Structures are given as C-alpha cells and as structure tokens.
Chains A and B, each alone.
Chain A
C-alpha cells in the first residue's frame, strides 16, 4: 500500500522568497514520485518526477525536489517565488512508472506581492 502526506494545505510566501512544499510518502516498494501543479480550472501538469535515477530532480519553472529515502520525503523547492507560481501542488507516488498514482491532499501556494 502507498500513501502520501503533504504537510500544510496552504502555504503563503512573498514574491522572491523561497518556496518549500513538503511531501512524505509511504511505500512498500521502491517508489516513483511526482509533483504535479494545478492552476484554477485546469488539469494537472507534471512539474517533475523521480524514477530511481538522480535523487535531486529538476523540473519545469525552476522547481526541484530531492528524494530522501531515509526521511521518506520528496519536498519541492524553488529559490524565488513568482506571482505566476500561485496554484495547487500535488505530490504523488506510484509503484511503477507513472502508473496508478496515489495523490497527497494538495498544497495551495499563495504568493504575495
């Protein structure tokens, strides 16, 4: 069985500040991990994915995430927030590549001017 916990359903940062969105997972097999972003009234768009290669994964729009097996974490970061980053972010785990995603509850990121 797999599960994902995203700490903080809402995160607010100032424009230019560091973005840190937390994700912890539970998996009985080596996981594949994903971060998706959802803009209002849109579908989900993949930001980045971990598929057992490099533990530091770089994605689109300046985001990156680090897989830490010892901490069962896959936190998402961005050095400097832009107003356009305001959206909902979902961490997801899969037992294999891209298949049967189990999502966390989501974190809504708000960016203040």
Chain B
C-alpha cells in the first residue's frame, strides 16, 4: 500500500482565496483524521471521521473551515476564505480498528500570503 496520500504537498495562495486540501487514506481504514501543525500551537486535531461520518469536529477553528468525506477513499479539507493565520502544515491520518496505530500522510504545507 502506498500509505496515506495527501495533495498538494505545497500550496501558496493569496488571502481570501479558497483552498482545498486532499487526502486518500489507506485502503481498508475506516477512520480518518485531519491535524494541523503550527509553531505556536503544535499538532492539533481538527476533525475525525469514522466510516465516512464526521464524529468530532470540535477542533475546526471556525466556519471558514469545512471537511468532507464523500467515500471511504477520499477526504477534503476546505478553507474559504483563507487567511494568513491559516498558514500551517496540514496532516491527514488514517486508522482501522484492527490496528493500534494511526498512519500519517506527508502533509500539505499551506502558505497564505
């Protein structure tokens, strides 16, 4: 398996633009997580899906952020409109109940100028 695949690896956008980050979890994993990593706040859980259903989105910073998981093999994290303070590395991770390990993608480094 190729692991968790995130795209793009790097994204530079202007303030006010819409940004969409993409994630393909490991096949057979039934849970998916979006994390954000910044120098100031470290690694924070944004949202957690189980069987494609959002279970906990309490970490989503504000209404500008939204996440979807239309099927078991794809998820998106959207920011609209983007702001400079959204600049961070966004990680996707997937997991299944037979393991006790979440596998992380390589992340998307987002820069909003």
Tell me how far the C-beta of B46 lies from the nearest C-beta in chain A, rounded to whole angstroms.
11
Q: A43-B104, A43-B107 are in contact. Are A100 and B42 (CB under 8 A)?
A: no
In the complex, chain A residues whose CB is within 8 Å of the CB of B105: 43
Q: Tell me the complex Cα distance, A32–B102, Å.
A: 12
**CB-based nearest B residue for A36:** B104
Contact residues of B: prevailing secondary structure: strand
- Residue B43 at the A interface, CB < 8 A? yes
Contact of B95 among A49, A90, A98 (CB under 8 A): A98
- Residue B45 at the A interface, CB < 8 A? yes
In the complex, chain B residues whose CB is within 8 Å of the CB of A90: 43
Those of A79-113 within 8 Å (CB) of chain B: 90, 97-106
Q: Are A106 and B45 in contact, CB atoms less than 8 angstroms apart?
A: no
Q: Are A100 and B56 in contact, CB atoms less than 8 angstroms apart?
A: yes
Q: Tell me the complex Cα distance, A32–B44, Å.
A: 18
Tell me how far the C-beta of B33 lies from the nearest C-beta in chain A, rounded to whole angstroms.
7
- Residue A51 at the B interface, CB < 8 A? yes
Number of chain B residues whose Cβ lies closer than 8 Å to a Cβ of chain A: 24
In the complex, chain B residues whose CB is within 8 Å of the CB of A51: 100
**CB-based nearest A residue for B106:** A43
Those of A27-57 within 8 Å (CB) of chain B: 32, 34, 36, 41-46, 49, 51
Q: Tell me the complex Cα distance, A102–B33, Å.
A: 12
Between A34, A43, A98, A103, the greatest number of chain B beta carbons within 10 A of the residue's beta carbon is seen for A43
Q: Are B104 and A98 in contact, CB atoms less than 8 angstroms apart?
A: no
Those of A2-49 within 8 Å (CB) of chain B: 32, 34, 36, 41-46, 49
Q: What would 10 A/B residue contacts be, using CB atoms closer than 8 Å? A: A36-B104, A43-B106, A43-B107, A45-B104, A97-B100, A99-B31, A101-B33, A101-B43, A103-B43, A104-B42
- Which 6 pairs between the two chains have the least Cβ-Cβ distance? A97-B100, A43-B104, A103-B43, A44-B104, A43-B106, A98-B100
Q: Name 19 extra pairs, CB < 8 A, besides A99-B31, A100-B45, A106-B43.
A: A34-B101, A36-B104, A41-B106, A42-B107, A43-B106, A43-B107, A44-B91, A46-B101, A97-B97, A97-B100, A98-B99, A99-B48, A101-B33, A101-B35, A101-B43, A101-B102, A102-B45, A103-B42, A105-B42
